[in-house]
Each structure stands twice: as structure tokens, then as C-alpha cells.
Amino acid sequence: MGKHVLLIEDEPNISEAIRFILTRDGFRVSCHDQGRDALEVVRAERPDALILDAMLPGRTGYDILRDLRAEPDTALLPVLMLTARGQGRDRELAESAGASGFMAKPFSNAEVLASVRALLGQA
């Protein structure tokens, strides 16, 4: 079985598209759609990589990422931030929170695969 990727995204169509793309390429993908309990899900799932939406119900992805970086068990977890806005300010927020990578919506299938492979050192 391939590497485990946890996707935290609240838009069902985007979540399903990413899950399909990655699963087809051999990754094991689990999905979650809430921000408020995202930290607990990451701790329980222990993924090899995390794809994290910037805007989630209950909590922002930026806040979640800051908390992940502050914990020894998740400080080095590869995290790809997703945002609906590809503006420079969003990229700066993601980088300052500790994102390993950044991807703006909409994205191509190839971009998703390349980003996740790069996160996991499989590029």
C-alpha cells in the first residue's frame, strides 16, 4: 500500500477529485472536512503527508498548521496548503505558518500529483 495522505478539505467536489487523483496513483487517502477537530484527526491518522485547506469550518488551516508545527510529533509533517485565492498574501500566510508547499484552486491533476510527490520526496 502506498503512502498515506490525509486531506482536510470542506468542499466535497474538491475532496473527491483529489482523493481520486491520488488513489489512482497508488496513495492511500483519508478525508476530513472540519477545522475544529483537525488536530485530533491528524494525531489519530498519523499521515505521511497532509493536504490542508486554508478556509475550513470551525478553524482556519493557517491556525491548524501553526499548532501542528508547535508539536514535536507533527512539526516535520509535510503539509500542502490549499487556497481558493492564489494571491501573494495567502502564500505568505501559508509560508509563515510553516507550510511545506502551496497550491491555489483551481488546480490540474498533474499539479496535485507533482505537489504530493514533491512533499514525499518522490518527485
Instruction: Name the residue ranges covered by the structural domains of the chain.
Output: 4-119
Q: Kindly report the length of the chain.
A: 123
Instruction: Please tell me the pTM assigned to this model.
Output: 0.95
Q: Tens of pLDDT along 36-71?
A: 999 999 999 999 999 999 999 999 999 999 999 999
Report the C-alpha gap between 1 and 27 in whole angstroms. 7
Question: What are the DSSP calls for 53-85, one per residue?
Answer: ESEETTEEHHHHHHHHHHSTTTTT--EEEEES-
Q: Which three cell numbers stand for residue 51?
A: 493536504
Domain 4-119, CATH: 3.40.50.2300
